Chain A
Amino acid sequence: MLPVKQGQMAIAMVCVVLGVMIAVQFRTTQDIRASIPFQRVEDLSQRLSQTEKDRDALLKEVYQLRQATEKEAVSRGMQTMKMGAGVVAMQGAGVIVTIDDSKRPTKPGENPNLYLIHDDDILKVINELWAAGAEAVSINEQRLIASSEIRCAGPTLSVNNTRYSPPYDIRAIGDPQTLETALKMRGGVLETLQFWGIQVTVKKQEEVIVPAYNGTFRFEFASPVKEDGK
Chain B
Amino acid sequence: MTLPVIGLIIGILIGTVCPISIPAEYAKFMSVALLASLDSVFGGLRAGIEEKFDNTVFITGFFTNALLAAGLVYIGERLGIDLYYVALLAFGLRVFQNLAIIRRYFLKK
Q: Which residues of A does B touch, CB under 8 Å? A: 1-29, 31-32, 35
How many contacts between A and B, using CB within 8 angstroms? 136
Closest beta carbon of chain A to B40's beta carbon, Å: 6
A-B contact pairs, 6 of them (CB 8 A): A4-B48, A6-B51, A10-B53, A12-B7, A18-B41, A27-B15
> A15–B15 Cα gap in the complex (Å)?
12
Given that A14-B37, A18-B34 are known contacts, is A24 also in contact with B7, CB under 8 Å in the complex? Answer: no
Mostly helix, strand, loop or mixed at chain A's interface? helix
- Do residues A19 and B45 form an inter-chain contact, with CB atoms below 8 A? no
- Do residues B58 and A7 form an inter-chain contact, with CB atoms below 8 A? yes
Stretch from B19-27, B79-87, B88-96 that touches the partner:
B19-27
> A29–B102 Cα gap in the complex (Å)?
30
- Do residues A16 and B30 form an inter-chain contact, with CB atoms below 8 A? no
- Do residues A17 and B37 form an inter-chain contact, with CB atoms below 8 A? yes
Given that A15-B41, A28-B21 are known contacts, is A5 also in contact with B14, CB under 8 Å in the complex? Answer: no
Query: Which residue of B has the minimal Cβ distance to A18?
Result: B37
> A23–B22 Cα gap in the complex (Å)?
11
Contact partners of B4 in chain A: CB under 8 A: 4, 8, 11-12, 15
> A27–B37 Cα gap in the complex (Å)?
18
Q: 5 closest Cβ contacts across the A-B interface?
A: A19-B11, A23-B15, A12-B7, A15-B7, A6-B53
In chain B, positions 29-82 with a C-beta closer than 8 Å to chain A are 30-31, 33-34, 37-38, 40-41, 44-45, 47-49, 51, 53, 55, 58-59, 62
Given that A3-B105, A28-B27 are known contacts, is A17 also in contact with B11, CB under 8 Å in the complex? Answer: yes
Contact partners of A24 in chain B: CB under 8 A: 15, 20-22, 30
Query: Which residue of A has the minimal Cβ distance to B56?
Result: A10
Contact partners of A23 in chain B: CB under 8 A: 11-16
- Do residues B102 and A11 form an inter-chain contact, with CB atoms below 8 A? no
- Do residues A22 and B11 form an inter-chain contact, with CB atoms below 8 A? yes
Kindly identify which residue among B8, B13, B59, B102 contacts A15, using a CB–CB cutoff of 8 Å: B8
> A4–B101 Cα gap in the complex (Å)?
13
Kindly identify which residue among A7, A26, A29 contacts B44, using a CB–CB cutoff of 8 Å: A7
Contact partners of B33 in chain A: CB under 8 A: 21
Kindly identify which residue among B20, B41, B51 contacts A5, using a CB–CB cutoff of 8 Å: B51
- Do residues A22 and B45 form an inter-chain contact, with CB atoms below 8 A? no
Kindly identify which residue among A2, A12, A28 contacts B6, using a CB–CB cutoff of 8 Å: A12
Contact partners of A8 in chain B: CB under 8 A: 1, 3-4, 48
- Do residues A28 and B58 form an inter-chain contact, with CB atoms below 8 A? no
Q: Is B100 part of the binding interface, using a Cβ–Cβ cutoff of 8 Å?
A: no
Told that A6-B53, A11-B7, A14-B7 touch, could you supply 18 new A-B pairs with CB distance under 8 A? A1-B1, A2-B1, A5-B49, A11-B3, A11-B4, A14-B58, A14-B62, A15-B5, A18-B41, A19-B9, A20-B12, A20-B20, A21-B15, A21-B37, A23-B12, A23-B15, A25-B30, A31-B24
> A5–B49 Cα gap in the complex (Å)?
6
Contact partners of B31 in chain A: CB under 8 A: 25
Contact partners of B37 in chain A: CB under 8 A: 14, 17-18, 21
- Do residues A11 and B24 form an inter-chain contact, with CB atoms below 8 A? no
Contact partners of A13 in chain B: CB under 8 A: 7
